[in-house]
Amino acid sequence: MTRNGTSQGRTPVAAPAWNRDRYEVTFGFEDLPGIRHLARAYGSTAGLGATRLADFVLAVSECGANALCHGEERAILRLWVASGHVYCEVQGGTWMFRHRPVVIPPDDVESLRLWVLQRVCDDIAVSIGSDGTTVLFSMAVR
C-alpha cells in the first residue's frame, strides 16, 4: 500500500463498515499492513480493549499471512460483530493450518501461527473444503 492508502495498481483496502455490518475484503501480501490497520480500526470500533485489540490484530495478521503463504495469491477476510463477540474469518489455501500442533519444531511457522491463534482467541475453528481452508475465530468484547 502506498502512503495515501492505495495499492499501486490495486483496489485499496477500504475502511471498515462502521455500522458493524459484515465486512469483507480480498487481499494479497502487499495488503497485509492495511489488513492490520483495518483489524485495529474494526476491533476498536467493536469495543475491544487495548490488550484484546492487540491480540485481535495479531490473530488477523498471522491468519492472513498463513492463508497467503499456503494458498493462492489472494485470500478473503471477513469481519463482523454479533452477540458480544467480534468475529474474523479468513479463507485461503488448502494447506493452511492442516494440523494442530502438539510440539512445535523451531522451523514450523504454520504451527506457531496456529498456536498463537489458539492462545489469544476465545474460539477458533478450522474447516477444510474443496474451496480451500476457512479459519474462523472470535473474541469476546469485554
For 92, phi then psi, to 5°, come to -155, -140
C-alpha torsion 70→94→71→3, nearest 10: -90
Q: Which CATH code fits 23-140?
A: 3.30.565.10
Exposure of 98 by Cβ count < 10 A (0-12 exposed, 13-18 middle, 19+ buried)? middle
Rounded Cα distance, 137 and 39, in Å? 13
Q: Give tens-digit pLDDT for 16-49.
A: 444 446 889 999 999 999 999 999 999 999 999 9
Q: Where are the domains of the chain?
A: 23-140
110-135: average pLDDT:
82
Rounded Cα distance, 15 and 119, in Å? 28
Predicted confidence at residue 107, as pLDDT, reads: 67
Confidence of residue 119 (pLDDT cuts 50, 70, 90): confident
Query: Which regions of the chain does DSSP assign to beta strands (E)?
Result: 23-27, 75-82, 85-92, 123-129, 132-140
89 touches 134 (CB < 8 A): yes
Q: Give tens-digit pLDDT for 123-140.
A: 988 888 877 788 899 999
Rounded Cα distance, 139 and 28, in Å? 24
Of the CA atoms within 13 Å of residue 55, those in its CB half-sphere come to 21
